[in-house]
């Protein structure tokens, strides 16, 4: 894992927790569902590319 990728994954993990986990009192989130989906899709892409980077690194 490159240093950058590991750092990215840590950020992904933090944002994933903040958006998707924790106590929910109202269910009335400020972020619209579309916004969250967009952020989430972006994070998935980031995560996938981090995995790809890692594989390329090993195959080099």
Binding site for other proteins (CB under 8 A): 1, 6, 9-11, 13-15, 17-26, 28-31, 35-36, 38-39, 42, 44, 47-48, 50-51, 54-55, 58
Nearest distance, CB of residue 52 and other proteins, angstroms = 8
Question: 20-28: long-range contacts at Cβ-Cβ below 8 A with a sequence spacing of 24 or more?
Answer: none
**20's tokens:** 């998707």
State in angstroms the smallest separation of the CB of 17 from other proteins: 4
**Shortest distance in whole angstroms from residue 49 CB to other proteins:** 10
């Amino acid at each position: 894992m490159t240093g950058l990728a590991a750092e990215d994954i840590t950020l992904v993990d933090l944002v994933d927790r903040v958006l998707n986990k924790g106590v929910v009192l109202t269910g009335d989130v400020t972020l619209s569902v579309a916004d969250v989906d967009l952020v989430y899709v972006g994070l998935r892409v980031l995560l996938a590319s981090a995995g790809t980077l890692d594989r390329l690194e090993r195959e080099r």
